[in-house]
């Protein structure tokens, strides 16, 4: 019987190859602890798409609240069907719904009256994600996300508003500590065409523009998530956004950041994120007390729950 504990050159080479194989397997196993396109973060996107032939159904529910005065509460629902077209390309089709409740709060050009809409369909979205480099087999993962969406309700006021948006995003992802630590970064730009419907019986001095508008939004964000127990990840994510319009230039900017908790099993996963606004600026509404936040289009905080099931 050969003595594998010997110190010969051949034995040393075999040991080196075995250690290399074991390390690679551990890295792959750790990385795949978060399955391909399992959404570890609430707002940021990973690079990996759904594998070819795979199907997934995902639900995202976001609660937005508090604009500094009065009552403001909104719920956003996004129901998503995802299909892996190839091992590098996946397609998403989404149905969006929303509800908006506003009391004792008027914001010129954005919130014209008290409202309580209840949950109702608000838009449709189609998106593609392509992986150029894999975070598992390459030094760093690189991907691109493209989406087009059409909505017919204003997310701020619940009023009728036709909106067509096109978004391009660059995605980065890397695994550390044999897949135990996940880092992602996103940056992208979104162009939007918006057309509000007229509203009757508004105060004469209230501005509610019905001319079509063009908006350009830039965002950049990053996050880390750490597997602290089998199937469990804890982390944090942050996103900076700014928006420009033709007539006013930079209209707003905001920085949101908060903790995220993720659980992933063989078939399903869930992610919970608390996302308070850390700082913001740009335009303020009349009577706004907190001038360190942007509270016209954003709220003081958001909470998002996402659940997915792989078929």
Q: What is the pLDDT of residues 204-252, one digit of tens each?
A: 788 888 889 999 999 999 999 999 999 999 999 999 999 998 777 899 9
The predicted-structure confidence for 184-193, as pLDDT tens digits, reads as follows 999 999 999 9
* DSSP reduced 3-state for 88: coil
**Cα distance between residue 259 and residue 204, in whole Å:** 44
- For residue 74, the model assigns a pLDDT of 98
Tell me what the pLDDT averaged over the chain comes to. Answer: 89
Q: 276 has which bridge partners? A: 301
110 in the Ramachandran plot: left (φ > 0), alpha (ψ -120 to 50) or beta? alpha
Nearest to 155 by CA among 73, 81, 230, 254: 73
Nearest to 308 by CA among 45, 57, 44, 53: 57
Q: Could you tell me the residue ranges of all domains in the chain?
A: 9-310
pLDDT in tens, 35-62: 566 899 999 999 999 999 999 999 999 9
> What's residue 6's pLDDT?
41
**Contact predicate 278/59, CB 8 Å:** no
pLDDT at 25 over 80: no
For residue 120, the model assigns a pLDDT of 97
Quick one: average pLDDT of 137-144? 97
Whether 70 and 38 have beta carbons less than 8 Å apart is answered as no
Q: Is domain 9-310 given the CATH code 3.90.1300.10 in the classification? A: no
pLDDT value at position 249?
Answer: 84
Give CA angle at 99 (93, 100), nearest 5°.
Answer: 135
76-113 residues labelled b (16+ CB within 10 A) or e (exposed): bbbebebbbbebbbbebebebbbbbbbeebbbeebbbb
Task: Examine the pLDDT at 1 and tell me if it is beyond 80.
Answer: no
Q: What is the chain's percent helix, strand, coil content, to nearest 5?
A: 10, 55, 35
The residue to which tokens 């691109």 are assigned: 144
Q: What is the pLDDT of residues 255-300, one digit of tens each?
A: 999 999 999 998 999 999 999 999 999 999 988 988 999 999 999 9
């Amino acid at each position: 019987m050969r003595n594998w504990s010997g110190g010969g050159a051949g034995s040393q080479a075999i040991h080196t190859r075995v250690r290399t194989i074991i390390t690679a397997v551990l890295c792959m196993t750790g990385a795949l602890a978060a399955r391909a396109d399992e959404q570890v973060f609430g707002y940021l996107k990973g690079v990996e798409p759904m594998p070819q032939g795979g199907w997934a159904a995902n639900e995202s529910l976001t609660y937005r609240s508090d604009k500094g005065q009065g009552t403001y509460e909104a719920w956003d629902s996004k129901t998503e069907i995802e299909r892996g077209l190839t091992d590098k390309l996946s397609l998403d089709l989404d149905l969006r719904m929303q509800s908006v409740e506003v009391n004792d709060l008027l914001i010129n050009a954005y919130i014209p009256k008290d409202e309580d809409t209840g949950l109702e369909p608000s838009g449709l979205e189609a998106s593609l994600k392509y992986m150029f480099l894999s975070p598992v087999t390459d030094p760093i993962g690189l991907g691109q996300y493209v989406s087009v969406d059409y909505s017919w309700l204003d997310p701020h006021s619940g009023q009728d508003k036709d909106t067509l948006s096109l978004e391009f995003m660059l995605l980065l992802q890397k695994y550390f500590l044999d897949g135990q630590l996940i880092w992602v970064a996103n940056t992208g730009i979104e162009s939007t065409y918006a057309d509000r419907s007229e509203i009757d019986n508004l105060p004469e001095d209230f501005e509610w523009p019905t001319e079509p508008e063009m908006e350009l939004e830039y965002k950049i964000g990053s996050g880390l998530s750490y597997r602290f127990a089998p199937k469990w990840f804890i982390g944090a994510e942050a996103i900076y956004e700014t928006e420009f319009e033709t007539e006013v230039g930079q209209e707003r900017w905001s920085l949101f950041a908060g903790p995220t908790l993720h659980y992933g099993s063989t078939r399903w996963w869930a992610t919970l994120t608390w996302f308070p606004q850390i700082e913001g600026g740009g335009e303020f509404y009349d009577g706004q007390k907190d001038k360190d936040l942007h509270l016209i289009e954003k709220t003081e905080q958001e909470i998002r729950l996402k659940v997915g099931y792989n078929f």
